[in-house]
Amino acid sequence: DMAFGTLTMGESLASTASLIGSPALAHGVERDVCAPFNKWLAQDKSWTGCFAGVFGGYVTASAMPDAIPVGLASNGQSAGFAGGCDMQFDKMVVGGEVSYAWMFGNLSDIGVDTDLTITGRAGYLITADTLLYGHGGWTRVEGTGFTIDGYKAGLGGEFRLPGSAMYLDARWTHA
């Protein structure tokens, strides 16, 4: 087993594109989950509510082992699931999210397997369907012979897809 001094998930989940949502869990759905879905599409444009879904993205990573003065670097893909809740206050939206991702591709070169993240976010609605936000929080990266706790911070944009409970969440994150 190799002891790692530092593991940097630089530009982690860079430009991650996510389609997250379901009629019962999408933003703004009334508390009565049996309410007709079309009623939500026609009337409720609030960002207050909870969500769940899946995501995928591109990841670059580097590591500096304690034992040798040579760093390792790699990139690959991630796929996972996320869930959270938001509250809207006029044009401001604040919320939190928990996500879990598996790493693929060349990331196996440095032994990175999974990433658990708990983040908060705060953003501003530039239109009723477009949120720009900053996010940050705690992360745990696990791999072959190591577990590292750290932080993540970044910027993102969330865009509702017209006529749908789905939305696109594109974000850049540094860990």
pLDDT in tens, 79-129: 999 999 999 999 999 999 999 999 988 887 778 899 999 999 999 999 999
Q: Which helix (H) or strand (E) holds 78?
A: strand 72-89
pLDDT tens per residue across span 1-42: 333 333 444 444 333 333 443 333 334 333 344 334 443 444
- Output the pTM of the full model: 0.73
